[in-house]
Structure 1
Amino acid sequence: MKTRPLFAAAATAGLIFSLAACGSEEDPDAGNGDAAPAADAADLDLVTEGTLTVCSDVPYVPFEDFDDTAPSGFSGFDIDIVSAVADGLGVDLVVKDSAFDGLQSGLSLNAGECDMAASAMTITEDRAQNLAFSDGYYDSLQSLLVPTDSDIASIGDLSGKRVAVQQGTTGESYATENATDAELVSFPSDAEMFQAILAGQVDAILQDLPANVPHTADEAFTIVEEYDTEETYGLAMKKGNDALVDAVNEQLAELRDSGDYDELYAKYFSEDAADSDDAESTS
């Protein structure tokens, strides 16, 4: 099986939780179930008072997916992270499905569609010109997915091949810079890219490793290369809302310090999680 070692690779990529330690003094009420939320929600300049509205480009498994059984209508690693943040802030959570290009450009946040973008978004200097990012919460890699019977063994074999990339992503940027002889075909999301490779319309998919891993579950596809691009995901917010950024960072640090982050990570990226996905794919 290819899935287990690839999930081990994903674990190596994401295991370093890149949160900055909080510098605030210890709360004397820490551990008290009646303690007040870490931040006053009234000071956070939320789109809707008492509610953290989060935009995400869905689906992008295992980070976000549609889920009718979940309170928000969505599930995934990112959704669990922002749910914990909302709980810590003492506010409700609403999740909206939004196009990634509008999220990474800052248009959705500036238009008041949401307070935060949580969509496996890499922190970059270009994006930071239009967005305020939280501390990092996941370190990732890029990867190349091909059919198992493909003669493509590396990025050097992509000359003349059609390669699917997601528009506006760091995967698209990496492919543009490193697969110069390939024909890059941009899609709005992972779902469209995977349908294209299933239909034989493209020869490969180049995108974040954790998003490619689930496509290897039935062994019809395999990941032939991974690329360490030193990428870290962050939660994006509107520039200037420092109160929200600080409050979110405090909640992320609490997740790390309490051990809850490790539990969430294991839920989606451990070998047990990979085995569970395999079982579901063959049921």
Structure 2
Amino acid sequence: MQFKARTALSAVLAVAALTATACSGGGAAETESGAPLVNEGTLTVCSNVPFEPFEYVGEDGEYTGFDMDLSREIAAGMGLEMEVQNASFDGLQSGTVLAANQCDIIAAAVTITEERAANLAFSDPYYDSLQSLLVPADSPAASLEDMAGKKIGIQQGTTGETYARDNAPDSAEVLAFQTDGELFQALQAGTIDGVLQDLPVNLDHTDGGKFSIAGTYPTGESYGLAAKKDGSEELIKEINAQLAEMRSNGKYQEIYDEYFTE
């Protein structure tokens, strides 16, 4: 399945929208159960785009992907519209965007960890993931151990970075990039020798056989939607109820199959 990266124009519009929302947030808007919202009648979602197939901008200019479709369905089940704001991953996993009232929740393939749970309130897990190593198809590397003396690219602030720094050979150089787009461009240009990150994202970057998965690494990681650590108890309850309903009525499986089933 092929996906299109966001355009430069989309990036500009997203930044403008982020600024506008940050300025207008913090009102008395709330859900039917009384959970506070940044904007009335809207579930405002912060994400880090592109990170295909979880979040990206489609050919129609709309935000799409597994996280986006899941969040849109959750919003609809709560009787809300959905608005997406693009932000840096560091701002997401640290909770900065929530503290600034830029959004109500974060949907950005965020792995639930004890460290992040100190600053964020997580929903029930909605996706289990593996880490993986992506290399050029002609690379002799068949494992992370084979990357000795090589350059491994990671996205800054992710669990992929943690895994690479903890498990890569001492002689390997781990290079951090701000976005998945920059990371893959560096691999295409030969600036780095491999990419270590979540398996679904690397699978989307095999580019017709030009790159291949050298290894996968089970880390017990699960993604969760995130909200403010304090004061979001009712919102998390509503989100968990929507996730449970989607699993029960088959909607979760329908969305999952669209992005992850061949």
Per the TM superposition, whether the score is higher than 0.5 is: yes
Question: Is 1:183 aligned to 2:173, yes or no?
Answer: yes
Structure 2 gaps, min length 5: 2-29
Structure 1 gaps, min length 5: 4-38, 272-283
Moved over 6 A (4+): none
The one of 110, 116, 140 aligned to 1:121: 110
The residue number in structure 2 matching 1:205 is 195
The one of 69, 79, 100 aligned to 2:89: 100
Length, aligned pairs only: 232
Question: Is 1:222 aligned to 2:212, yes or no?
Answer: yes
The residue number in structure 2 matching 1:89 is 78
Question: Is 1:67 aligned to 2:62, yes or no?
Answer: no
TM-score (ref. length: structure 1): 0.80
TM-score (ref. length: structure 2): 0.86
The one-letter amino acid of 2:215's match is E
The alpha-carbon distance between structure 1 residues 68 and 51, as it changes in their structure 2 partners (threshold 3 A), is: farther
Counterparts of 2:260 and 2:33 in 1: how far apart (Å)?
Answer: 35
Higher relative contact order (CA 8 A, sep 6+): 1
The residue number in structure 2 matching 1:235 is 225
Is contact 1:59-1:191 (8 Å) kept? yes
Write out per-residue CA displacement over residues 242-270 of structure 1, whole angstroms, 9 at most, x where no aligned residue.
Answer: 01000000000000011111111110011
The one-letter amino acid of 1:155's match is L
The residue number in structure 2 matching 1:264 is 255
SS in 2 for 1:153: coil
Is contact 2:135-2:213 (8 Å) kept? yes
Question: Is 1:146 aligned to 2:132, yes or no?
Answer: no
The one-letter amino acid of 1:121's match is V
Is contact 2:33-2:234 (8 Å) kept? no
Identity of matched residues, %: 53
The residue number in structure 2 matching 1:22 is none
The one-letter amino acid of 1:226's match is T
Is contact 1:41-1:50 (8 Å) kept? no
Counterparts of 2:167 and 2:89 in 1: how far apart (Å)?
Answer: 22
| TM-superposed deviation, 1:160 | 1.2
